[in-house]
Amino acid sequence: MNDIYILGIESSCDETAASVVKNGSEMMSNIVASQIETHKRFGGVVPEIASRQHVEQITTVIEEAMNQANITFSQLSGIAVTQGPGLVGALLIGVEAAKSLAFAHSLPLIPVHHIAGHIYANRLVDEMKFPLLALVVSGGHTELIYMKEHGHFEVIGETRDDAAGEAYDKVARVLNLPYPGGPHIDRLAHEGQATIDLPRAWLEEGSYDFSFSGLKSAVINTVHNAEQRGETIKPEDLAASFQASVVEVLVEKTSRAAKEYNVKQVILAGGVAANKGLREGLKEKVSELKGIDLIIPPLKLCTDNAAMIAACGTIFYENGIRANLGLNANPGLDLTSFNRE
């Protein structure tokens, strides 16, 4: 069988990224230009600025990815690009770049769902074993996804309000920590004790859905009440208590679903997968479940990158998923629309 070389392009939020992946699992290059420094002073991603920076970066980032992989366009099997979800103006830059290159070099164009990409970061680490359960936790998503085979996604639980990363970033703001707040809370949490009583949203019996807005409000109220009483709360303890609540719910629901769905493997995906507390908690819990493997990608593959888009694009390429040059960015793209029935 011929080797498959896919160029992946990602521009859904504040990272401009390109990567070449061989046979869906071998990373030949992985270039990420982050805009975090630019958005920091605004306390979050400013969509117009993100789009403009993507325009400035994308050509160089793609060139670097091709150079580092030491490959020419004629050797590629196809070009995979994040079609959605994400910021529409940001997505469009990647989509237009991918379309231009696919047209210029007569290459197949493969649309990829950003979350499917996050899941496929795991294939760059280890073999995926089915059926599997993916816990996807990012700035915009918190989902439990069941996969019976490659390229088939079933959402069995999702957040009803804030995503886990969003809750982290909002709590970080209350604690006056810089954007993105997740890593800062994670660091503080390890310096404090979970002494403050905060809620855990288990929802109805048997539900795999999540809710983090109540927890976020509880943290904000705790800070305000303390301020009114002239008391000080140690930010480390608040961070530790908040993290304990998030991690307990995520880990417990993942473990229950893994047992109920009888999966062979649990995989972790998305920016919040970089969280040390979550990584440790999940490792400990899954090790108690006999016969279930766990993959946790290295930090670089947890946050937004294009290697995950190329890895997922390879499976989609093999499944015959193609887009024509009319491809448009879709901020509300549905993950299950990629399933082959």
For position 304 contacting Zn ion by CB under 5 A, the verdict is: yes
Residue 108 corresponds to which tokens in the numbers above? 């197949």
Site string for ligand KG4, 122-161 (x = CB under 6 A): ----------------xxx---------------------
Q: CB under 8 Å to 245, separation ≥6 — which residues?
A: 198, 199, 200, 215
Q: Judge whether 124 and 297 are in contact, CB under 8 Å.
A: yes
Give the range of 40-48, 180-188, 205-213, 321-329 binding ligand KG4 by CB under 6 A. Answer: 180-188
The contacts found for 223-226 with CB under 8 angstroms, 24 or more apart, are: 223/174, 223/175
d(CA 63, CA 44): 28
d(CA 188, CA 193): 10
Site for Zn ion in 111-140 (CB under 5 A): 138
Read off φ and ψ for residue 200, nearest 5 degrees. -120, 120
Q: How far is the CB of 189 from ligand KG4 (least distance, A)?
A: 9
Q: Helix or strand or coil: residue 304?
A: coil
For position 168 contacting ligand KG4 by CB under 6 A, the verdict is: yes
Q: How far is the CB of 302 from Zn ion (least distance, A)?
A: 9
Residue count (the chain): 341
Give the range of 58-66, 176-184, 298-306, 308-316 binding Zn ion by CB under 5 A. Answer: 298-306
Q: Which of Zn ion, ligand KG4, none lies near 273, with the C-beta cut-off 5 to 8 A by kind?
A: none
Give the range of 33-41, 98-106, 282-290, 297-305 binding Zn ion by CB under 5 A. Answer: 297-305
- The footprint of ligand KG4 (CB under 6 A) covers 13, 138-140, 165, 168-169, 180-183, 186, 270-272, 274-275, 303-304
